[in-house]
Amino acid sequence: MYRETDMKTAVRGLYGEDYISWEQVANDIESMYIRGANDIGRMSAYALHIFASNYEGKPENFVHELEQTASSLFHTRPTAVSLENALLFVLNSIDPVTPVEKMRESVLSSVVEFFNYATSSQDMVARLASELIEDGAIIHTHCNSTAVVRALIGASNEGKNITVHSTESRPRYQGRITARQLAGAGIPVKMMVDSAARLYMDEVDVVLVGADTITYRGELYNKIGTHQIALAARDCGIPLYTLAETFKFSPRSKAGEHTLIELRDSGEVAKVEDFAGVEILNPSFDHTPPELVRGIVTEGGIVSPENVSKVIDEKYGNMRTDYFY
């Protein structure tokens, strides 16, 4: 578990960087140097740790400037609710009528608490998901979910002989990261272009994917291409599970708030100058309906899509969640 005193060391160990400003963290999240829903949650919280540690402004401005900083971080990647929930966790930790030093301490301690919670919940999700994987299974995964990679390596380390199909996940090719990570752990991997998923789905026993946001009605927002893989899985009668720590559940979606799908720069897809007159679309995520999701593996166990609302009500019922709207 991390302590307040070793947060900087922890972050250096995870990302190889010494972050001296919250803006540096925001830039690295936006550029996807820091990526993955769990990581961007932890690091957006850590950005508030840097803000609070360095704050030298007027005491009466602390809350406003903290909220402004959180809002800037919120807009770096709008789809993964892990980022928003991390910021909400910290913002809800302060009592604005207490002295600024007390509020600063609340921010610092809540960041450490969130960091530890995000770490331990990913451990549990990976462990529970590895139990879904049978010896001899072929598993399809998409993009690069740390929770999924850890579950697969865990199953392999338990002696299960598995093979993984990994779709490379254009345009940023996070599925290639997955392929290298699993091959490096000695797991047989077959990597393919995204559009090959259906052709090989007949060989697959189970699909495991990560999650960026799970909505109140159990809809899954994940890397672009996930919905098509879910349709292919249903076509073949194969279950799809998503691995999602509960800070990837969206309290805002209870009010029917639509989850924004991040549209990234067209230049990630192709050289724009080579396609005069062509609109190049680059949505980073899509949304998979709950009926295509067999279960959501959380740190508290497997949740069915229809029960997500209960988890959100229990977890977020007493939190203020309207800071950014």
Contacting positions for ligand RI2 (CB under 6 A): 35-38, 143-147, 174, 209-212, 222-223, 284
Q: How far is the CB of 84 from ligand RI2 (least distance, A)?
A: 14
Q: Is 212 marked active-site? A: yes
Tokens of 227: 């919905």
Q: How far is the CB of 54 from ligand RI2 (least distance, A)?
A: 27
Query: 20 or 263, CB closer to ligand RI2?
Result: 263
Query: 108 or 147, CB closer to ligand RI2?
Result: 147
Distance, CA of 167 to chain centre: 18
Residue nearest to ligand RI2 (CB): 210
165 vs 261: CA distance, rounded Å: 26
Q: Is 236 marked active-site? A: no
Query: 210 or 218, CB closer to ligand RI2?
Result: 210
Radius of gyration of the chain (CA): 20
Pick the catalytic residue from 28, 39, 143, 286. Answer: 143
Q: Is 205 exposed, middle or buried (0-12, 13-18, 19+ CB in 10 A)?
A: middle
Query: 72 or 282, CB closer to ligand RI2?
Result: 282
Q: How far is the CB of 214 from ligand RI2 (least distance, A)?
A: 11
H/E run at residue 295: strand 295-298
Q: How far is the CB of 239 from ligand RI2 (least distance, A)?
A: 17
Torsion of CA 270, 141, 115, 93, to 10 degrees: 80
The full DSSP string for 95-128 is -TTS-HHHHHHHHHHHHHHHHHHHHHHHHHHHHH
SS3 content of the chain, % helix, strand, coil (to 5): 50, 15, 35
Pick the catalytic residue from 28, 39, 212, 286. Answer: 212
Q: How far is the CB of 210 from ligand RI2 (least distance, A)?
A: 3
Query: 37 or 187, CB closer to ligand RI2?
Result: 37
Label residue 16 left, alpha or beta by phi (over 0 means left) and psi (-120 to 50 means alpha): left
The catalytic site residues sit at 143, 212
